[in-house]
A and B are shown apart, each in its own frame.
Chain A
Amino acid sequence: MQIRGLKLQVEPVRSPLPVFRGSVDAKGWEEAARAVLAAHGRLVSTWGAQAGGGGAPFTVSAAYALPAGLFWLQLPLEAGRGYPDLAPHFPFAGRMQRASADLVGLRAESAADGRGWLNHGVWPESFHPLRRDCAVPERFGAAQPYAFVPVQGDGVHEIPVGPVHAGIIEPGHFRFSIVGEKVLRLEARLGYTHKGIEKRFTQLPPLSAHRLAGRVCGDSTVAYAWAYCMALESAAGFRPPGRAAWLRALLLERERIANHLGDLGALGNDAGLAFGLAQFSRLREDWLRASLELFGHRFMMDRIVPGGVAADLGATGVERLLRQCDDVEREVRRLREIYDEHPGLQDRFINAGKVAPDLARTLGLTGLAGRASAQAVDLRCKPSWPPYDALEVRMATHKNGDVAARVTVRFEETLESLRLIRAICATLPHGPVRAELAPPAGAAAGAGWIEGWRGEILVALELDGGAIARCHCHDPSWQNWPVIEHAVMDNIVPDFPLINKSFNLAYSGHDL
């Protein structure tokens, strides 16, 4: 398998999705970035690691998505050496590279932005937590101010917001530069919820680290647990039983619907229709209660485990699920009609926070928000994996790229996921839901690549000596946070909460 215009030595990773892994040198690193761009591929993630074994002491990785699959390229690095900057090709790579500089101490050469990203000045600059030989500091300092890009001119003023926000939201800082009510520029500072997840992975046994993966981002616990288990299973060359794969998809679609129901209510509320919040939050509560009843947890945390699933569904459970799908579909269709016909609501939704398809492509907007800006990518459709390859998932897209488009995509995905749940219930194969999985004893690598409700999630796992050497988790929020800064330009400040909610990006999933 090759990237067009490039000679690469890559080996397939035994993942349910087509994933290939290989090494490149510094020249190949840059050539690959150019070739991917030319082939209309996407950068999914980039991260650094301290390497094991006798080779170069560090590696920097890039994962590219192309029609043929995911290419995980590694560039070995000698100590103290930098690597070619990917940000000129893929703008969002800048923040990921700054995170690698903080965590591993690897720097992109001639990168335009040298500010720390996850290190807020609390721990010393010389401390790189993902280096094995780095002693944890005995004392920690106070968080330091951040050099926001200043905007100057007649009548320009700043509004600082956060990290503690006015609602029940995760922490982050937004710095608005304003003229009158209009946003000239927004710059976000994230990293407040950084809790050392990638370091913590290396302290947990591979067979129990799925619990940590399920807590990278609470609203995507199923997606992360599945991605982690897929990575571990692919490293071990293990295929979970058929019924387990189908049940995993069932849980993932239930997670998607739970989040879409919550967001549709919140979006109505943010646009002044409290009725929408009351109705959708009621549906969401019904949905979560059924998850508790059928799978033992309202968010289905820890139900996807290495080797399969820790839940099963009997005939009465299937009946209960199907009945609920009918009830929810009826109500969602009714509420959609109300939303569509509500002039006040549509006035707030239409044209707010617009991201045109061209801009979306340039900035790498991905997932649900990407699909609302004509970026037709959904891993469940292509390259697909079991059981989605048997379900013919219909992708929801829109070309307007505004809040209204992101609302529409949510409605359509909710209805499609309801269809998928019915289809899964109809064809759920019999058999065991879990099998014994033995993690490989030697060095091994695996990848999990999942279409979560927010977008594509990647878990890249490297094992050594039966332990986790490196586990990198990627959230689509990395791609999408910088795009919000463009989406709000020329909008009015009071529309920011609505626009922000329409993306509903993760803080914890991003900050790790």
Chain B
Amino acid sequence: MWKILRQIARTGIRTEPAPDCGEPPRAEVERIHRELLDILGQALTIRQVDPGSCNGCELEIHALGNPYYNLEGLGIKFVASPRHADLLLVTGPVSRNMELALKRTYDATPEPKLVVAVGDCGCDGGIFGESYATCGGVAKVIPVDVSVPGCPPPPLEILRGILAAVRRKVSA
């Protein structure tokens, strides 16, 4: 046990400020909290759906949970069921074999729901395009609020996309 504690103490806190939007970091975090509370009255919950990606985007979404980005520290967490989710974070392309599963996941998510499409393939099918096997981007199958391009987009860009979707809902 003491080795674990020593390692924790040696590592210290590595969490970095939330994405800079022109305010001091502390204010930024507080504003994100406030916005989330205004729209949802609770923490933002996300259900991630991979309807056919190469798994590159999933690796970067995973990274959002590491101590540097500390997603949960912002009041955002991933949940196991769409029924518990406020936002669907969907990569792409949407394979035809996953089209039905994605639609069902969307239908199972309670209103008001947000959808963020992640990655070049989530935006428009990327290098895989549209074919006998893929429908193309996420918007071909379910309504999308915000798209985050990149192959794959780095974690901060994905976080910005999530926050942009929430803000859009606040201002709407």
Contact = CB atoms under 8 A, between A and B. Distances in A.
Interface of A: 118, 120, 122-123, 127, 129, 136-137, 140, 142-143, 163-164, 166-171, 191-197, 199-200, 211-212, 215-219, 221, 262, 275, 277-279, 281-282, 284-285, 288, 292, 298-299, 301, 334-335, 337-338, 341, 506-508, 511
Given A170-B55, A281-B63, A163 B128 contact: no
Given A129-B133, A279-B11, A298-B154, A192 B101 contact: yes
A218 B54 contact: yes
A476 to B, nearest CB: 15
B128 A200 contact: yes
A279 B7 contact: yes
B100 A284 contact: no
Contacts of B67: 278, 281-282, 285
Interface in B42-84: 48-63, 65-68, 78, 80-82
A137 B133 CA distance: 11
B161 interface: no
A195 B93 contact: yes
A143 B98 CA distance: 8
Contact size class for B?
35 or more
B63 A288 contact: yes
B151 A193 contact: no
Contacts of A211: 127
Contacts of B132: 123, 127, 129, 136-137, 196, 199
A167 B129 contact: no
Contact of B80 (A167, A196, A200, A301): A167
A283 to B, nearest CB: 9
A335 B53 contact: no
B11 A168 contact: no
Contacts of A262: 59, 62
Contacts of B78: 167-168
Contacts of A129: 132-133
Contacts of B134: 195-196
B59 A218 contact: yes
27 contacts: A122-B97, A122-B99, A142-B100, A143-B97, A164-B82, A164-B102, A164-B105, A168-B48, A168-B58, A168-B62, A192-B52, A193-B97, A194-B52, A195-B93, A199-B132, A199-B133, A211-B127, A215-B128, A262-B59, A262-B62, A281-B62, A281-B66, A282-B67, A288-B63, A299-B56, A299-B59, A338-B3
A123 B134 CA distance: 11
Contacts of B68: 282, 285
Contacts of A170: 50, 53, 55, 58
B55 A194 contact: no
B21 interface: no
Given A194-B95, A217-B55, 15 more contacts: A123-B96, A143-B97, A143-B101, A164-B82, A169-B58, A195-B52, A199-B133, A215-B56, A218-B54, A218-B58, A281-B63, A281-B65, A282-B68, A285-B63, A337-B3
B26 interface: no
Contacts of A120: 97
B122 interface: no
A349 to B, nearest CB: 17
Contacts of B102: 164
A461 to B, nearest CB: 18
Contacts of A335: 7
A320 B152 CA distance: 25
B172 interface: no
B55 A166 contact: no
A218 B131 contact: no
Interface string B89-115: 000010111111110010000000000
A499 to B, nearest CB: 19
Most buried by B among A122, A218, A341: A218
5 nearest CB pairs, A to B:
A218-B56, A196-B133, A166-B80, A281-B66, A218-B54
B49 A164 contact: yes
A378 to B, nearest CB: 23
Contacts of A192: 52, 95, 97-98, 101
B56 A284 contact: no
A262 B56 CA distance: 13
A103 to B, nearest CB: 10
Contact of B51 (A171, A216, A298, A299): A171
